[in-house]
Structure formats: C-alpha cells, structure tokens
Amino acid sequence: MHTARNTFKTFVFLAALGGLFVIIGGVLGGTGGMIIALLFAVVLNMGTYWFSDKIVVKMTRSRPVTETEAPWLYRIVRTLAQSANMPMPRLYVMPASQPNAFATGRNPDKAVVAVTEGILSVLTEEELTGVLAHELAHVRNRDILIGAVAATVAAAITMLARLAMWGAILGGGGRDRGSSPLGGVAMLLSWLLAPIAALLIQMAVSRSRESQADASGAELLGDATPLANALIKIDAAAKRTPQMAVNPAVSHLFLQAPFRGQGVTKLFMSHPPLEQRLEQLRKLGARV
C-alpha cells in the first residue's frame, strides 16, 4: 500500500512538471524555442542517463573493489541480489570519511552500488545490509530512469525561461511588447519563478523515491530495523565529519543528502528529513 502510494505521488509530480512546462511555454510563447530547448534537454539528460554509471563513478572518484578485498561486502550484496532476483551489481568504494552510499546505472544489468570508506567503519554488518537493501531497491525500482525524466523536464523548463528572457532582451520584447502590462508581469514572473518551481518539483520527486526505496529495501530484507538504526548512526556521524566534496548534481543519488539544509533551503533538499524516514520505518516494524 505504501509503495503504491509513493509510486502514485511520483507520477503526480512528473505530471506536474510536464504541466508546468506547457504552462510556461504558453506564457512565454516562442514555440520554436520551446521545442529546441526541450530537445536539447532530452538529449543532454538521456545521455547522462545512458552513461550514468561511468559519469557518477568518475565524479565521486569511486574505485572498484574486488571480492578478494571485501568478501563480506560481496556476500551481503550477492545475498540481497539473489533475494531480489537481480543481477549482481558492480561494487565500488568512495574515498570519503562521511558515511554514505549510492546506487547508479540505467538498469539492473548496468547497476553500480558504492559505499564510502566512512560507512564501512561506522555501521555493523546488519546495519550495512539494511543500507545496501535500500540501494538495490533504487536499482530495482528504476529510480535512475525516473530521476532522468524529472531532470529532463526541469532542465527544459529552465532553458525555455532563459531562451525567452534573452529573446526578449535581444529582440526588443517581441511583437506584443507593451500590449498588456499584465502580460509583461506574467513573463517576468515566469523568467524568475519557472526554474525555481521546476527544481522544487524535481526535489519532491527525489524525496518520494527515497521514501519508496526505504520501504522497498525494508521489504526486501524482511526487517526495517537495520536501515533505521543505520540512518540514526549515519546522521550522528555525519555531524562529526567534514561535508563531502561532491558535485551537487549527484547529491540526490546518496542514501543521505551530503549537504545539510537550514530554514528555507530545506525546500530544496533531495531527501526526506530523518525523523520522517524513521517514522515510516517504524510503521513498517522498525524497533527504534
């Protein structure tokens, strides 16, 4: 029931992004520019999706880890992959002291699961199993694809607003300039607010997928307690370790947001608050 609800929320958010794009296109006009912006965004983001495993591994400076180096890590992931009826993903370790993990790859056959050096020294094997179940759930739920779709539409909205802005500046405001003060105000608001609205909806999609991965991971493991305990430990340890030097473009991939938001910046966070995640896991039977 919970998984179905989160799936429904995700499609609502994606529909909202698409609807916002159509509305902004109608306000700003310029059908040709709108089509070019959309095509460019699709090519850019689908290219990123297709090569996501290579790009993210390079951006995070993660290195492949062999079964000889970490037999217990392979054993945990292999057992979870078999339970989920998934291929064994490639395993990587990221050189970062902050405890965290991420998954990427366009499908289960191309999946990469990575953990930071910090998480290996903080969690017990049981807690790490809960984290890895969460990451495999992202792969099984095709969250990389959903994220790419959301990013595509969000980027298209942003580029459309910028194209319209520069078109108005360079072209003197278009044939209808000055015909309606309200039209000018609407265009100005679209330039300023469209990218922010697109980003807010994109982050909402990301938070929804994180919640679903928490639930799916707990279901895969058959116990929500290990992940709940892991999240508590990771949050406490993250406050004592330096912030990760990671590109914000990949921050949504991590188990926990590498950056901490305060005040209004929480609107732009890609992950649900810790207490909200724990409350969901408690409803799934977590003993924390």
The dihedral formed by the CA atoms of 119, 204, 146 and 218, expressed in degrees to the nearest 10 = 50
Q: What is the DSSP letter of 137?
A: H
What is the 8-class DSSP label of residue 65?
-
To 10 degrees, what angle do helices 125-140 and 225-238 make?
Answer: 100
Q: Is 135 a catalytic residue?
A: yes
Rounded CA-CA distance 119/234 in Å is 7
**Cβ contacts of 94 within 8 Å, gap of 6 or more:** 60, 61, 62, 100, 102, 114, 115, 116, 117
Q: How far apart are CA 88 and CA 206, in angstroms?
A: 25
CA distance 91 to 80: 13
- Would you state the structure tokens that stand for residue 205, as one six-digit string? 């999609």
Integer CA distances (angstroms), 278 to 59, 199, 225, 268, in order: 30, 25, 9, 20
State how far the Cα of 99 lies from the Cα of 238, in Å rounded to an integer: 7
Q: What is the DSSP letter of 251?
A: G
Q: One of 67, 127, 135, 219 is an active-site residue; which one?
A: 135
Contacts of 181 (CB under 8 A, 6+ apart): none
Specify whether the CB–CB gap between 256 and 273 falls below 8 A: no
The alpha-helical segments, DSSP class H, found in 29-67 are: 31-50, 52-59
Residues carrying an active site annotation: 135
